[in-house]
Amino acid sequence: MTPAAASSPSPAGRAALPTPYYNWRLVAFRPGLFVVHSVFAILFFVFQVLPGLIEKQVFDSITGAVPAQVNLWLLIALYVGVELARLLSAVGADWFGWTFRFATGAMLRRNAVASLLHWRGSRSGAGAPALAPGEIVNRLRDDVNETADFPTWFPDLIGQVGAAIIAVAIMASINLSLTLVIFLPLLGTLLVTGLTWDRMRAYSYASGQAADAATGFLGEVFGAAQAVKIANAEAGVAARFAHLNEARRQASARYQMLRALSDAINAATVTFGVGVLLLLARQAITAGTFTVGDFTLFIYYLGFTTHIPGYLGNFAGDYRAQAVSIERLAELVRPDPVTALVAHHPVYVEQAPPRPAPIVKTPADSLEVLEVDGLTYRYPGSERGLHGVSLRVRRGEFVVITGRIGSGKSTFVRVLLGLLRAQRGSVRWNGQLVTDPAEFFIPPRCAYTSQVPRLFSETLRENILLGLPEDLADLPGALRAAVLETDVARLERGLDTVVGPRGVRLSGGQAQRAAAARMFVREPELFVFDDLSSALDVDTEHQLWERLDRRRQAAGARGACLVVSHRRPALRRADRIVLLKDGRMEGIGRLDDLLAASAEMRALWHAGEAPDGRDRQAG
Amino acid sequence: MNPNAYARLLDRYLRPQLKRMLWLALLLFTGIGLQLASPRVIRYFLDTTQSNGSRPALLWAAVLFIVFALAQQLLGLGSAYLSLLVGWDATNRLRYDLALHCLRLDLGFHKTHTPGELIERLDGDVTALANFFSQFVLRIAGNGLLVLGILALLFLEDVRIGLGLAAYIALTLAILAAVQRLAASRWAAARQASAGLYGYVEERLSGAEDLRAAGALPYALYRLLLLLRAELHEYRAAHTLSAAVFNFTNVLSVLGYAVGLGFGAYLYTRGEASIGAAYMIVAYVGMLASPLQALREQARDLQQTAASVERIQALFALRPLVVDPPAPTGRPLLPAGPLSVGLDGVTFRYDDGDAAAGGAFALENVACSIAPGRVLGVLGRTGSGKTTLTRLLFRLYDPTAGAIRLSGADLRAVPLAELRARVGMVTQDVQLFQATLCDNLTFFSPRPPGSQADMEAALQALGLWDWARSLPQGLDTPLGAGGQGLSAGEAQRLAFARVFLKDPGLVILDEASSRLDPASEARLERAVDQLLAGRTAIIIAHRLRTVQRADDILILEEGRVVEYGPRLALAADPASRFAHLLQTGLEVTLA
């Protein structure tokens, strides 16, 4: 047993995804959208300097400081024209910007989910993040929102800083000393901002973690609603949620207040600049070297140029926060290389994505013999696991793996299928070495049903087919083989019944048989059952094995079964039984041989006997 | 959108924070006053400069300006802090209330909503309300006041410009109100698309192994791309509509500013206003943009909020069909010790649409009684109604007809908390949380004194104590998500430990040991013995061996009782179904 100490991922760890590279990959994903957005955004900000100049002209011409070159009303019309042009730029920047950030966001989400499904679907122990689905949903939502739009901030930055530089240049050309006096203190604030960066980043990370914890908990709780209700634990669970939210409040408030403080320091410096301007401008105005128009221009420009340090501070803060979010997203693709997060897989914005091609079985896929040799796996930090297990499954055979709890039955199946990575040993399919079992043991070669199969909140048909084109699949046959046909007939909407989240609207046995039907409809060469029978009654289980057998016979004795079970019907049916004890092979052979040779087998067999001793006589 | 819904939310979640709200109001309104004063200071400055006024007066003007501005920053910081407190306190309380409310809703609700969707509705929607709580009223009031203040000052300056601006403001707000309604529905659609997307993702992540095993990963990604595309379209539409509103009002404010500039210049050239007054008019008109924009932003937030409020209200509006009766005064209804169980013509049909039972009766006229301390074994094929029966015993549903009594008390009269404290169940699917072992055992209930010893005893009885002690932090060791790292057997025994701790008067074992191998199961038998000692029990199993310890046997078929009687008598009667089942069941097993 390994307690999940891994639930606190640290910011340090493997190679991070550098923020510039990350942003570059986003930009390169939709360069056209980005460029058009950028042009509009930069125009929008740079045009900010024009209204100030017009206002100066207005005041200078009415006070007579400079001779009126242009008619007052023409100036005002010009002002309106400039502002309308800016608005048009804003509209363009918005549309293209939104499309860009949603397209890149879709790419990030798609990549993260692809890696998550891949690694959670296989080798779950091999470095994939140990996060509850709720936490992952939180990251996919918030951290993608936090980062996907970040590239669109760069043209904003260029535009704002560009406008500020132009404005400062104009101001300096009007009165250099005044400009210097106003802007020098701003340098100090830049320094302050820089000093808070690291703290900002740490706070932001903590805030994200706290949010993860709360949403992760929520997901778990709603996934276990019935258990919570019958345990009478609604109040306790809600209190725990409140507790997690309180921690989240503190973490978030700390981060946001640091930001607000940094903003306020910046703004205060700005104000100080304006005050100084007031003090010093008087002399210049009375001396005639500074007009009222100049004064209004200074005030107007100060309105946006002095936002720059605060803006840069925010930008730096967001940049830092982005690094945190990138890290949190990069964790999701683990153990894929971090670059998998920003791989340019297509996402579909305007037209619909193409349906994946159906799986086609080739002659090379058909099973002659599966050879497993010396399979070894040890759970991290424990002696438990699997030690050198070998077996052979030939076409048409029914092989059972049995043993006590903890003997390694499920571990064997999981290692064989690549759900856990074997530390030693080999697997051969028709003599060919299987190098990546997780990729290999899938339909059309192999299908697998776990102890607790999952269904999804879709129709029963969709749950069984999972994208398999219905005209290519023998759905009625699979239903029959899975002993599900009468259940389906009794459902009001038959196969179109929506089975609810995780299939909760079906009984346990129905869900298990639906999972079996999902397996059968794919007509694999190798069926692997990890205790499929645990939710089935005696009759149903018997029927299921019979029908599966008939189905395989009908298909020309193709296909083989590898079944984890400790139940008698399976043991009796077996062509071969692999008996495991403490992760080692205790014996292999037919039931009678094992019963004769192995005390462990006898113990298991007799522990499984039925009431009234009838079983022993029958056996 | 019903304004009452907002009022109720504000009343419920802000009233407890009245004092903070008052402080927040004070800070905001003082800030507005200072904002209004600043252009007047500049006007004074310009006019005094133009008329070559005294130096100290100008110095004071500059100092005053700086003081005002710094004070504004401090006020801003203070109100940001208070807003955060108010927003978080209100939303956290709302999150708590919603979570509790949803948990208390009927099981049927949970069968139709994915955890991912509920996360989005409980957390996503509530987060969208943070701003609404902390700022909405104050910002509307504050910015409204600022607009009125500017208007009043301009009226004082010149009636014509005051009138013109009043018309302009009225027009802007009217247009805003009209378009806001339009955009709200788009935001609702966008949020629904998000909920659909995250519901899908959460479920697929939980079932990743099954997807892989079925070779359905490419298909799962294909569906994801479809959902991402739908989300993109909804959000882009919503944002575009909001941006259209934003830009349209921007055009209005540009025109307003142009008029202000022209008018100020016009008054000055006609000698009707000083240069300072002309500047002040322009400054005030310019200043209008910011509160109007703030009002506009609030309106936009309100659009987004409206969608969330609607969805939150829709959740709150759901009422459980299973009504919790008021706790009776005096003694509890259920006596201490083992409970008797009486089923009296119990008939039940799932009402949640196209449920598994497909509109047929899940249970029909089921009657039986169990004396205190006796054990009833329930047999039946999958789908015969066994699981439904256990759900009714916990009052997860109420019978459509008939009644269930525990020690004589109709379940509908027993407070749910009392009922569920006195009935315990072990199911096959053990739910574990990413929390400490202790929290997993107690289901997060506060630990009463002495509970440590109880827990130790429970774990010891199940042979888990050595394991628990070997954990790095003992009982306080966190377990992984979904019970990661625990074997099915360990998880199962933890489930037993939970029931041990609860010390119920009625225990239900629903296929409790079916996932264990025979050897481990034998070890569990002792624990079951202990658990059943001095308690009434109902054991539900597919397998005959599991019901050996039953005193009575009840066989269900398609929701009806087809046989009911003492186990030994039934076993001895060759005509009984039970005897037949023992025989054929075993024959099948051993065939």
Compute the distance between CA of residue B461 and CA of residue B533 in angstroms, rounded to an integer.
13
Q: Does B445 touch chain A (CB under 8 A)?
A: yes
Q: Does B107 sit within 8 Å of A229, measured CB to CB?
A: yes
- Same domain for B524 and B467: no
- Same domain for B87 and B142: yes
Count of A–B CB contacts within 8 Å?
574
Contacts of A202 (CB under 8 A, 6+ apart): none
In a domain, B58, yes or no: yes
Tokens of B408: 């004589």
Domain of residue B448 covers: 433-485
Tokens of B35: 């904002």
At A16, phi and psi to the nearest 5?
Answer: -85, 165
CA neighbours within 13 Å on the CB side: how many for A308?
Answer: 23
- Last residue of a domain, which of B485, B513, B528? B485
Compute the distance between CA of residue B55 and CA of residue B47 in angstroms, rounded to an integer.
13
Q: Does A98 touch chain B (CB under 8 A)?
A: yes
Residue A417 DSSP one-character state: T
Tell me which chain A residues have a C-beta less than 8 angstroms from the C-beta of B201. Answer: 109, 113, 133, 136-137, 140
3-state secondary structure of A168: helix
Q: Which of A187, A190, A173 is nearest to A298 (CA)?
A: A173
pLDDT score of B354 more than 70: no
- Same domain for B23 and B166: yes
Q: Does A609 touch chain B (CB under 8 A)?
A: yes
- Same domain for B506 and B386: yes
Name the β-bridge partners of A398. A561
Q: Does A217 sit within 8 Å of B265, measured CB to CB?
A: no
Mean pLDDT of B165-184: 77
Q: Does B487 sit within 8 Å of A110, measured CB to CB?
A: no
pLDDT at B563: 92
At A36, phi and psi to the nearest 5?
Answer: -60, -45
Mean pLDDT of B495-510: 88
pLDDT at A502: 64
Tokens of B210: 């099954």
Q: Does B225 sit within 8 Å of A106, measured CB to CB?
A: yes
Q: Does A279 sit within 8 Å of B213, measured CB to CB?
A: no
In a domain, B335, yes or no: no
Q: Considering only residues 249 to 288 of chain A, which have any Cβ-Cβ distance to chain B shorter than 8 Å? A: 249, 252-253, 256-257, 260-261, 264, 267-268, 271-272, 274-276, 278-279, 281-282, 285-286
Q: Does B77 touch chain A (CB under 8 A)?
A: yes
Tell me which chain B residues have a C-beta less than 8 angstroms from the C-beta of A607. Answer: 518-519, 521-522
Task: Decide if A225 contacts A219 (C-beta within 8 A).
Answer: no
Q: Does A539 sit within 8 Å of B62, measured CB to CB?
A: no
pLDDT at A123: 59
- Same domain for B471 and B419: no
Interface test with B, best of A404, A530, A573 (most B CBs within 10 A): A404
Compute the distance between CA of residue A423 and CA of residue A421 in angstroms, rounded to an integer.
6
Nearest CB neighbour to A218, from listed B63, B99, B223: B99
Strand order in the sheet with A432-433: A385-394, A369-378, A424-429, A432-433
- B196, containing H or E segment: helix B159-206
Conformational region of residue A130, where left means phi above 0, alpha means psi within -120 to 50, and beta covers everything else: beta
Q: Does B275 sit within 8 Å of A292, measured CB to CB?
A: yes
CA angle B61, B62, B67 (to 5 degrees): 95
Task: Decide if A306 contacts A273 (C-beta within 8 A).
Answer: yes
In a domain, B324, yes or no: no
Tell me which chain A residues have a C-beta less than 8 angstroms from the C-beta of B478. Answer: 3-5, 7
Q: Does B396 sit within 8 Å of A230, measured CB to CB?
A: yes
Task: Flag residues of chain A having pLDDT under 70.
Answer: 1-15, 68-69, 123-129, 270, 310, 381-382, 502-504, 532-535, 537-538, 557, 607-619
- Last residue of a domain, which of B453, B485, B517? B485
Tell me which chain A residues have a C-beta less than 8 angstroms from the C-beta of B66. Answer: 271-272, 274-275
Strands (E), A333-384: 369-378
- Same domain for B42 and B97: yes
Q: What is the CATH number of the domain that holds B505?
A: 3.40.50.300
In a domain, B345, yes or no: yes
Distance of CA A269 to the CA centre of its chain: 42
Task: Decide if A228 contacts A155 (C-beta within 8 A).
Answer: no
Tell me which chain A residues have a C-beta less than 8 angstroms from the C-beta of B217. Answer: 114, 117-118, 121
pLDDT at A536: 74
- Same domain for B460 and B408: no
Q: Does B232 sit within 8 Å of A349, measured CB to CB?
A: yes
Q: Does B220 sit within 8 Å of A3, measured CB to CB?
A: no
End-to-end CA distance of chain A: 37
Q: For the beta carbon of residue B167, count every other beta carbon within 10 angstroms.
A: 10
pLDDT at B449: 67
Q: For the beta carbon of residue A260, count every other beta carbon within 10 angstroms.
A: 18
Contacts of B470 (CB under 8 A, 6+ apart): none
Nearest CA in chain A to B499: A231
Q: Does A102 touch chain B (CB under 8 A)?
A: yes
- A432, containing H or E segment: strand A432-433
Q: Does B125 touch chain A (CB under 8 A)?
A: no
Query: Amino acid identity of B144?
Result: G
In a domain, B330, yes or no: no
Tokens of B264: 């100020």
In a domain, B418, yes or no: yes
Compute the distance between CA of residue B61 and CA of residue B44 in angstroms, rounded to an integer.
8
Residue A459 DSSP one-character state: B
Q: Considering only residues 470 to 509 of chain B, which have any Cβ-Cβ distance to chain A shorter than 8 Å? A: 471-472, 477-482, 484-490, 498, 502
pLDDT score of B122 more than 90: no
Name the β-bridge partners of A563. A400, A529
Q: What is the pLDDT of residues B233-270, one digit of tens each?
A: 998 888 877 777 777 777 777 888 888 888 888 888 88
Q: Does B211 touch chain A (CB under 8 A)?
A: yes
- Last residue of a domain, which of B485, B503, B526? B485
- Same domain for B398 and B252: no
Q: What is the pLDDT of residues B463-486, one digit of tens each?
A: 788 888 888 888 888 887 555 567
Rounded to the nearest angstrom, the minimum Cα separation between B405 and chain A is 17
At B429, phi and psi to the nearest 5?
Answer: -90, 100
Q: Does B54 touch chain A (CB under 8 A)?
A: no
Tell me which chain B residues have a C-beta less than 8 angstroms from the C-beta of A449. Answer: 210, 213
Query: Amino acid identity of A533?
Result: S
Domains identified in chain B, total number: 3
- Same domain for B478 and B397: no
In a domain, B496, yes or no: yes
Tell me which chain B residues have a C-beta less than 8 angstroms from the C-beta of A569. Answer: 588-591
Q: What is the pLDDT of residues B304-314, one digit of tens each?
A: 777 788 888 88
Tokens of B582: 């023992």
Compute the distance between CA of residue A129 and CA of residue A120 in angstroms, rounded to an integer.
9
Give me the interface pTM, i.e. the ipTM. Answer: 0.82
pLDDT grade, residue B502 (50/70/90)? confident
- Same domain for B204 and B62: yes
In a domain, B445, yes or no: yes
Q: Does A68 touch chain B (CB under 8 A)?
A: no
Q: For the beta carbon of residue B450, count every other beta carbon within 10 angstroms.
A: 8
CA neighbours within 13 Å on the CB side: how many for A127?
Answer: 12
Rounded to the nearest angstrom, the minimum Cα separation between A121 and chain B is 4
Q: What is the CATH number of the domain that holds B137?
A: 1.20.1560.10
Contacts of A229 (CB under 8 A, 6+ apart): B103, B104, B107, B394, B396, B420
- Same domain for B260 and B378: no
Q: Does A505 touch chain B (CB under 8 A)?
A: yes
Interface test with A, best of B59, B261, B414, B418 (most A CBs within 10 A): B261
Q: Does B588 sit within 8 Å of A534, measured CB to CB?
A: no
Tell me which chain B residues have a C-beta less than 8 angstroms from the C-beta of A76. Answer: 258, 261-262
Q: For the beta carbon of residue A148, count every other beta carbon within 10 angstroms.
A: 22
Interface test with B, best of A33, A61, A245 (most B CBs within 10 A): A245
- Same domain for B457 and B538: no
Compute the distance between CA of residue A495 and CA of residue A489 in angstroms, rounded to an integer.
8
pLDDT at B120: 83
